[in-house]
Amino acid sequence: MKAFEWSNPTNITEAVKLLQTAAQGADPDEAPRPMAGGQDLLTTNKHYITRPTRIVNLKGIRGLDRIEGNAKRGLKIGALATLTQIEENEEVRRSFPGLAEAALSVATPQIRNLGTIGGNLCQRPRCWYYRLEDVICLKKGGSQCYAATGENKYNAILGGGPSFIVHPSDLAPILLALNASVAVTGPSGNRQIALEKFFTLPSEGNLRRENVLQNGEVITEIQVPSSRMAARSTYLKFKERSSLDFALSAVAAAVEVGTDGVVKQARIVLGGVAPVPWRAPEAEAFLTGKKLDANILAEAAKLALRGAQPLEKNAYKVPLTQTLVRRALAKVGNVATA
């Protein structure tokens, strides 16, 4: 690990000042970085993937771990709220069940006790080529994505190229399904970013980062609006090891169903299959105005995966994800399945 300066600010203004770099556009992996639970940042530092000159510890900033709100007002979740706090929060469980399920699906109690929602959204990809210290892949400034033709069982089937990472966060898909946004403070002030616009594809020319945050910017809060879909939301995740693992595939789904049983609106977001949490707008549009039954779910599942382009070793993700889409929709739509 490269030596770094350690700072302990007690408020956001101070934190942002400490995160500022002299050079605008400095290498994002060498610029000062904020640290929350530290579970990912310290790992990437140990492997020289990130080499920040300074680490700015956010945990001394009071009040950044609050969870406030309810079904009517929506939720405001401080960036330092841990996954355990989210999973155990009664209001989240009752009114935003998919969010509680997603938090609970992460790793182990120890990791959830330390991991924060801000860190979870900003954690770096798990592709093993990216994580290997000696491999300088495309995302580390190299010239090649080794997963494209190598060991790509865990990589992207949607939205890949030129890098084929998948986004590792379990909270990102459900927060996107719930139409959440993040409040950010940085050297140029405050801004609000819809999660829809937060994550970036490798093809969008931002290969070294996975989101639109600039050096020096810190997420302070995650805002989940009140929505008629929130109470009927779920997160289903398939992992190779049931004890703890990242998603091979996951589905966040939320629907609003009228008293006549007709879907008024639907959101489907896939996890573990694309470099960003992947929305399925065709499937969502198809569901709107329909009464859910097994055939409709099967058709929606097909549409959600339309455009999938598996690599040599990950075609299994297509039927796996279709099954998860069907199951998630059956759950939120109360549809009995065989």
Which of these ranges, 15-23, 226-234, 244-252, 311-319, lies near ligand FAD under the rule CB under 6 A? 244-252
Q: Residue 140 gets which letter from DSSP? A: G
Q: How far is the CB of 35 from ligand FAD (least distance, A)?
A: 4
Cα–Cα dist 121/116, whole Å? 9
For 250-300, give the DSSP string. Answer: EEEEEEEE-TTSBEEEEEEEEESSSSS-EE-HHHHHHHTT-B--HHHHHHH
* Among 32, 98, 119, 173, contact with ligand FAD (rule: CB under 6 A): 119
Task: Give how far the C-alpha of residue 260 lies from the chain's centroid of Cα atoms, to the nearest Å.
Answer: 34
Report the C-alpha gap between 301 and 69 in whole angstroms. Answer: 33
Contact 138, 163 (CB under 8 A): yes
Q: Which residue is nearest to ligand FAD (CB)?
A: 119
Round to whole Å and give the CA distance between 164 and 152.
8
Q: How far is the CB of 15 from ligand FAD (least distance, A)?
A: 9
Span of 120-128, 153-161, 306-314, 324-332 interacting with ligand FAD by CB under 6 A: 120-128
Q: Which two tokens stand for residue 31?
A: 């610029």
Report the Cα 114 to chain-centroid distance in Å.
17
Token representation of residue 64 = 């950044």
Q: At what angle do helices 317-332 and 294-304 cross, to 10 degrees?
A: 140
Least separation in angstroms between CB 124 and ligand FAD = 6
Q: Kindly identify the residues of this chain, within the stretch 13-42, that bind ligand FAD according to CB under 6 A.
A: 33-41
Q: At its nearest, how many Å lie between ligand FAD and the CB of residue 216? A: 10
Q: Which span (165-173, 190-198, 202-210, 257-265) binds ligand FAD, by CB under 6 A?
A: 165-173
- Residue 31 or 304: the one with the smaller Cβ distance to ligand FAD is 31
Cβ-based nearer residue to ligand FAD, 81 or 280? 81
Residues 246, 168: contact at Cβ < 8 Å? yes
Q: Is 122 in the site for ligand FAD (CB under 6 A)?
A: yes
244 binds ligand FAD (CB under 6 A): yes
106 vs 283, which CB is nearer to ligand FAD? Answer: 106
Sheet of 33-35, strand order: 5-7, 54-57, 33-35
Q: Which residue in 139, 151, 118 sits closest to 39, CA to CA?
A: 118
First-to-last C-alpha distance (Å) of the chain = 53
Considering only residues 169-228, where is the footprint of ligand FAD by CB under 6 A? Answer: 169-170, 213, 218-219
Residue number, 157 or 213, with CB nearest to ligand FAD: 213
Who contacts 48 (Cβ-Cβ below 8 Å, separation ≥6)? 1, 2, 133
Q: Which of 246, 255, 311, 320 binds ligand FAD (CB under 6 A)?
A: 246
**Shortest Cβ distance from residue 126 to ligand FAD (Å)?**
8
Q: Which residue stretch of 5-13, 114-122, 144-152, 303-311 sits at the interface with ligand FAD (rule: CB under 6 A)?
A: 114-122
CB of 107 to ligand FAD, least distance (A): 4
67 is a contact residue toward ligand FAD (CB under 6 A): no
Binding-residue total with ligand FAD (CB under 6 A): 31
Q: Under the rule (CB under 6 A), what is the footprint of ligand FAD?
A: 33-41, 58, 79, 106-107, 111, 114-116, 118-120, 122-123, 168-170, 213, 218-219, 244-246
